[in-house]
Amino acid sequence: MTNASSFELFPSKISRHGNDQIEIEWSDAHKRMYGIRQLRDACPCATCRELRMSPRPTNLLTILKAEEIAPLLIVGMNPVGRYAYSIEFSDGHSSGIYTLDYLRELGRETPV
Ligand SMILES: [Zn+2]
């Protein structure tokens, strides 16, 4: 375990892993795997936060929108300043700003 403070952590490499995952290699050599759907569901923008807090309909016959059926892809990941990334998804959503601290918490550690 390193004791580096979080602001020194940054992704040194981001690579696509299959169709539905990305892998981020961090500056401290930790690697984490991220499901694209997981990242989308964790979107920190105000709209998505509100959606997550609103009560879910219990109707099981939920009709899925076309963009929810199509495989979700990451179209782009762009650095925002030195502390965050904005992620653009194939469903057209790109307003989430993922801070590096937040990204670091998401995903799951993979063996180096
Ligand atoms: Zn969002």
**pTM for this structure?**
0.80
Question: Whole-angstrom Cα distance, residue 108 to residue 31?
Answer: 8
Task: Enumerate the H helices of the chain as residue ranges.
Answer: 36-41, 46-53, 66-69, 100-105
Domain ranges of the chain: 8-107
CATH class belonging to 8-107? alpha beta
Two structure tokens written together for 27: 């500056």
Report how far ligand 1's centroid is from the alpha carbon of 90 (Å): 13
Query: Each residue of 81-112: pLDDT tens digit?
Result: 989 999 999 999 999 999 999 999 999 998 76
- Give distance in angstroms: CA of 78 to centre of ligand 1: 15
CA of 27 to the centre of ligand 1 (A): 26
From the CA of 54, how far away is ligand 1's center (Å)? 14
How do residues 46-81 score in pLDDT, each as one tens digit?
A: 999 998 888 766 655 666 666 667 789 999 999 999
Q: 43 C-alpha vs ligand 1 centroid, how far in Å?
A: 5
